[in-house]
Structure 1
């Protein structure tokens, strides 16, 4: 059987990781293509592949990914069997449409967002992606949603707990800590526009069988985690809560993200000044500007942080439940190193943790293990093959259970 060509859409820090991991796994695929609105950014990633000595066929392309007809045409032109969408979350639905029309497998790393809306009524997947389930099945393609780290790997951690530790799950607390330092006065680790939009609306969590609402930074607690130690994290809204709550409706599902006091102070000032608004304003000179886009323009490009980044991340699931009526808990997690990520693929650890998993998903689709010919979130798929493959690709999983701290 012919190996599938891969089309990466997007050319940021995560796309660079995806490209390098595809190239490292060249035996699994055919050719590698990278498409972006600004083709020179795709060219720059390809140059980093050449610098590492990769030899698989690769090429760059200009693409307006907001145009589903253009996406379809490029997929057909390249005979791409797998599309990995790591562009902005604003393009998910048009890229998915292009894949449905062209018959290509689709993989993304985040829920679709409408640029005109922020923090819509949950569950967010129900607003966009899940409405296309029947179309995906009729087209006979595989569409894997949210296959980054969170969402993505943390969803697989919940599924692993379901498969191997509990017959009843009571709670899933996802904890994301970045204990690294990029050396800049202030910066975001990925697209500032998407980053800030996550935190400007209502924080939704699934507790007691219903959606609970909080304000950002309203609920915080200290976590004592492997390697990174004691860290303050805050209850936050996040993609995976919306799909996990559907699979585990009787469990509490919460997401906690670590923030330092400096980040919170800067965020608060920007928000109170109205600089995080996505609504246009007019300057005294008559120029119409979007404050959030201005903030994005003046902040460092997240990809530029990589060379100076040091420290580690720790991301995991604390899952509580019972087996045969006996209560217990497990913490399933990964620790990644920013410097090691840069040395391997030229990106920082946040991009690394987000970029490796969709390639692992693509490999499992290419092998047939995850080629399910329907739409699925990661927790709907077998977890162990995914997590074991990730371990071989640089993101090993560990578990703290009643027997101690050990690899899966």
Structure 2
């Protein structure tokens, strides 16, 4: 049984991870938080203590760490006796943290695909460019590495696995829809790291259509859906992490990702891009100073964590799945609704951070219990979805389903899920 958690990162998602890990420290053991900015780590520790989130008395410590330094990360894992590492730092850190875990034997969990700082929107498949190259090594060492265990990717992958196992005989399409219908009250801000946010949308949009990778430009294709709670929402086709694993692991011809954007965001984004201010390539100013435009924009925008206190409204994220069951056409929407103000009241974070931060803690708990201790590298859809969805529901992210029978809480019975038993951590 693996215990003791090292959280790498100190942003809004790490805030949620720390609180939720503390609420379950009877299962997870000691909790350590590490980042280059140790003051942010101390602030998270203070928040956890002030909210009295620790379920039982235990270790809760902050550490300074440059997670790009593999040897330093290995040393911290060893010193803290961390059996599980939750990487919610920048996506630029993934391969360094993964290397440290493989060499120490600690289980590895992340919430996004690795990115090369010098490259934007690489050609698919993204996991195949980095993480998947280490699958054989993870299996040889018996190291559990769960990739993309946030919400999207993460929970939506489990939704897809559940739909395939329980609700469909064959699936024609999975459309993942992500809408933030909330308001932070600022002129312009991003809900997570601006650098990562903008990098997702400045290149080509890659989606899986007719069993092949298809390229579009950002904001070229849009749709409007009447969604539960948040109502009529317009979303735009964009590339996203989970498409790259779902297209490889599920036999589905069409897998697309749609994200909601307001006109104001699109206008500001377009101006910044056209001016070259979203470029990741360095430029030299008239004074001879070399700067990266994208990093300058990040520096002047609000810290996403600072948006939480005034955030209002809700998010809706889910999978619209179409296919056939028992010879009949079928359509289901499996989704979650989250409330910004409620999340802040609980853990002092907004809903974007909350939806990304709860799932990796659930994954850590399942590893600690042995249910998801796969001892190899996997994406979430390769693991049993039922215990994961049950657990995140109990932790604050309940799943609902809308289909021909109506809109209701997702509930499981032994009769409903006979095929789920075949999904085990060691294989499909």
TM-score bucket (shorter structure): over 0.9
Partner of 2:425: none
- Asked if 2 retains the 8 angstrom alpha-carbon contact of 1:136 and 1:143, the reply is yes
Choose the corresponding residue for 2:396, options 384, 394, 397.
Answer: 394
Partner of 2:77: 75
For residues 99-147 of structure 1, give each alpha carbon's deviation from its aligned partner in whole angstroms, at most 9, with x where no partner exists. 0000000000000000011111101000000000011111111100000
Deviations 1:342-396 (A, max 9, x none): 0000000000000000000001110111111111100001111100111100000
What is the match of residue 6 of structure 1?
Answer: 5
Aligned residue in 1 for 2:34: 35
Number of the residue aligned with 1:144: 146
Contact kept in structure 2, 1:169 and 1:248, CA below 8 Å = no
Q: Is contact 1:338–1:349 with CA below 8 Å preserved after alignment?
A: yes
Q: Please list the CA deviations of residues 228-264 of structure 1 after superposition, one character each: whole Å capped at 9, or x if unmatched.
A: 0001100011000111111224420000000000000
CA distance in 1, matches of 2:58, 2:350: 24
Which stretch shifts more, 21-30 or 331-340?
Answer: 21-30
**Deviant stretches of 4+, over 4 Å:** none
Distance in 1 between residues matched to 2:325 and 2:95, nearest whole Å: 40
CA distance in 2, matches of 1:286, 1:310: 43
Cross-structure match for 1:26: 25
Q: How does 1:292-303 map to 2 (within 5 A)?
A: 292-303=294-305
**TM-score of the two chains, using structure 2 as the length reference:** 0.94
Q: What's the CA shift for 1:325?
A: 2.4
- Of the structure 1 ranges 87-96 and 132-141, higher mean CA displacement relative to structure 2 is found in 132-141
Distance 2:34 2:249 in 1: 34
Q: Deviations over 1:268-289 (max 9, x none)?
A: 0000000000111111111111
Q: Take 1:113 and 1:331, find their aligned partners in 2: how far apart are those partners? A: 30
Cα drift, residue 326 of structure 1: 1.9
Contact 2:181/2:230 (8 A) holds in 1: yes
Structure 1 unaligned spans of 5+: none
Matches within 5 A, 1:7-406: 7-53=6-52, 54=54, 55-406=57-408
1: CA distance between counterparts of 2:186 and 2:102?
42
The answer on whether the counterparts of 1:42 and 1:60 sit within 8 Å (CA) in structure 2 is: yes
SS at match of 2:189: coil
Quote the offset at 1:402 in angstroms: 2.1
Distance in 2 between residues matched to 1:250 and 1:336, nearest whole Å: 28
Q: Give the Cα–Cα distance (whole angstroms) in 2 for the partners of residues 211 and 30 of structure 1.
A: 43
The answer to whether the Cα contact below 8 Å between 1:187 and 1:302 also exists between their aligned partners in 2 is yes
- Specify every segment of 5 or more residues in structure 2 that has no aligned partner in the other structure, as ranges: 411-428
- How far apart are the structure 2 equivalents of 1:39 and 1:126? 33
Q: CA RMSD in A?
A: 0.9
3-state SS of 2:248 partner: helix
Q: What secondary structure does 2:372 align onto? A: coil
Question: Is contact 2:237-2:257 (8 Å) kept?
Answer: yes
Look up the SS of the partner of 2:207 in the other structure: strand
**Distance in 1 between residues matched to 2:141 and 2:73, nearest whole Å:** 16
Distance in 1 (CA, whole Å) between partners of 2:21 and 2:205 is 35
Kept in 1: contact 2:28–2:364 (CA 8 A)? no
How far does the alpha carbon of each residue in 1:26-49 deviate from its partner, in whole angstroms, 9 at most, with x for none? 111110000101111111100001
2:295 alignment partner, SS class: helix
SS of the residue 1:47 aligns to: helix
Distance (whole Å) between structure 1 residues aligned to residue 385 and residue 171 of structure 2:
16
Question: In the alignment, what sits opposite 2:420?
Answer: none
| Corresponding residue number in structure 1 for 2:422 | none
TM-score by length of 1: 0.99
Give me the whole-angstrom Cα distance separating, in 1, the residues matched to 2:96 and 2:132.
Answer: 14
- Separation in 2 of the partners of 1:95 and 1:85? 7
Give the match's secondary structure for 2:344: helix
